[in-house]
Amino acid sequence: MKTAGVLALQGDFEAHAAALKKVGLKVSFVRSADGLREVDGLVLPGGESTTMLKLLAHDGMMAPLRAFAETKPVFGTCAGVILLAREVSHPVQESLGVLDVSVERNAYGRQNESRIVALTPEEPYRQRTGADRIEAVFIRAPILRRTGPGVTVLARYQDTPVLVEQGNILAATFHPELTASTDVHALFAAKL
């Protein structure tokens, strides 16, 4: 059985763990660089990207995490997408730079402007999951302002990519772990 790690420094890591277990994966909470050696893939959860960056830097995890994300399956949601992105704005901040996207932080608005929407996924997502709908929970979500040529868009909201894939990396600007569906987590599990 494959083991999915969930970065458990800050954010909604427990909800991801529950979803990953539902799709048949063993789950390990990763709190150090050593923890990366024990997992086949890693989820970077939503939360507060600035806080996560401070904790990663304090624990010496930036370089090991970047090396992991360059070769192993990684799934970032909301703040996790910000951590993965090549470019971050509003404000500019450090990131791992492994996903060829430009992301604007908190671009959908404040906490009270959070929303739940039904997305119609693109054909590659429908073919691989059999699902023709994605329930997406947006909470102070980032917007992908640019996607590079190697990035495949799997779903859009208001004509903007919200679920993308680049090789071993899957990224959602929304929170699939807060819904009953495990389709997006199953898509990540298939990468392990």
CA distance 183 to 31: 26
* 16 a catalytic residue: no
Within 10 A of 127 (CB to CB), how many other CB atoms are there? 9
* 58 a catalytic residue: no
Query: How many CA atoms within 13 Å lie on the side-chain side of 76?
Result: 32
**Do the Cβ atoms of 128 and 111 come closer than 8 Å?**
no
* 175 a catalytic residue: yes
Among the listed residues 104, 165, 177, 185, the single catalytic one is: 177
CA distance 181 to 71: 27
Compute CA 175 distance to the chain's CA centroid, rounded to the nearest angstrom: 8
Among the listed residues 16, 104, 165, 175, the single catalytic one is: 175
Among the listed residues 16, 78, 104, 165, the single catalytic one is: 78
Q: Which residues are catalytic?
A: 78, 175, 177
